[in-house]
Amino acid sequence: MYAVGVDLGATNVRAVVGNDTGTIVGRARARTPQGPTADAITRAVLDVVREACRDASVEPSTIAGAGIGSMGAIDRDAGTVGLSSNLGTDEESLDPIPLVGPLAGLLETDAVVLHNDTLAGAIGEHQHSHPDVDSLVYLTISSGIGAGVISDGSPLLGTDGNAGEVGHMTIDAAGRLPCGCGAAGHWEAYCSGNNVPALARLLAADEVSETETALPLESDDLTAAEIFEHADSDPLATRVVDRLAELNVLGMGNVINAYAPAVVSVGGAVALNNPSLVLEPIREHIGSQLVVQTPEIVCSDLGEEAVLRGALRCAVASASETGEVGEIED
Ligand SMILES: [Zn+2]
């Protein structure tokens, strides 16, 4: 039997077709429509799933189940996802995006599961890399910051399936940087890839401790990647990376104290592209924040495959539960 996993992100929508042992036999990807209508995103998801089925030489109607890991605020009961602050669109204008219903129609199955992307990532990491661990946090530091939590062996859903929005924990009560969610002082507002340049500008404006820099602070094109690249040569870039480390220790300390995981698996481009600058300082200093056992803090093995793998896993499990296929081996 075959199942489909979908990863709907702000930049790309990707799909895989796999069998019940998780072996992937087809895949496809496309750019996520920018400045879209809800309908455009639904269509993009269906198109990518059709293409992945073609790649696998499998008819969509023979697919037994599907799992979706999506950005944004999901509504598991309605099978929709709400607007995302990362989507680069006028947030007020985007209706909830139907995902589960249209995909169930295309695949002719009721076994369609929707999770937020970080929870799908946690399920993927748990199954693939840490199956012997009962409590795991998958933390992404990418354009935003979020977590998926496996607690006592089960995915932590929360109301509507939206637990894990840890990027919106307050780490600066003074609220010096505004967050995309409308509040201020949140972890994501300082340490996500989109916001590292804002942190550089904040530190550069610090009159008590002026720091030289050749970074193009006035340019909208300044990126987190550029700042990390100059961490060992530009005094301000060094200061930014040091401050990021301190703030990430605060953020991750909060997460670890809340969930007491045995493993924290860290993904997202900011962490995966700069493991020595992002993860090493966290490992070194996290102990000072913790009243629970210090977990193993590792780079995600799956990288950007984590969400797809988790979504596929959920699809296989759902197909099994709804009788689309027989019992599967765990
Ligand atoms: Zn926020």
The yes-or-no answer to whether 2-110+305-321 and 132-299 have a common fold is yes
How many angstroms is it from 73 CA to the middle of ligand 1?
13
How many angstroms is it from 114 CA to the middle of ligand 1?
23
Q: pTM for the full model?
A: 0.93
* Token pair recorded at residue 260: 């007491």
How many angstroms is it from 65 CA to the middle of ligand 1?
34
> Does residue 327 surpass a pLDDT of 90?
no
Mean pLDDT, to the nearest integer, of 24-35? Answer: 93
- DSSP strands (E only) in the chain: 2-8, 12-19, 24-31, 65-70, 74-75, 80-81, 97-98, 112-116, 136-141, 145-151, 154-155, 263-267, 296-299
Q: How far apart are CA 170 and CA 39, in angstroms?
A: 34
Assess contact for 281 and 248: CB atoms under 8 A: yes
Q: Give the closest residue to 199 by CA, choosing from 244, 246, 144.
A: 244
Task: Give tens-digit pLDDT for 239-272.
Answer: 999 999 999 999 999 999 999 999 999 999 999 9
Q: What is the pLDDT of residue 206?
A: 85
Domain boundaries, the chain: 2-110+305-321, 132-299
Task: Give tens-digit pLDDT for 269-291.
Answer: 999 999 999 999 999 999 999 99
Collect all residues with Cβ–Cβ distance below 8 Å to 130 and sequence separation of at least 6: 136, 263, 265
Share of the chain above pLDDT 90, in %: 84
> Does residue 217 surpass a pLDDT of 90?
yes
How many angstroms is it from 64 CA to the middle of ligand 1?
37
Tell me the average pLDDT of the chain.
93
CATH superfamily placement of domain 132-299: ATPase, nucleotide binding domain (3.30.420.40)
The domain defined by 2-110+305-321 folds into Nucleotidyltransferase; domain 5 (3.30.420)
How many angstroms is it from 183 CA to the middle of ligand 1?
5
Which single residue is written with the structure tokens 């696998």?
Answer: 56
How many angstroms is it from 266 CA to the middle of ligand 1?
20
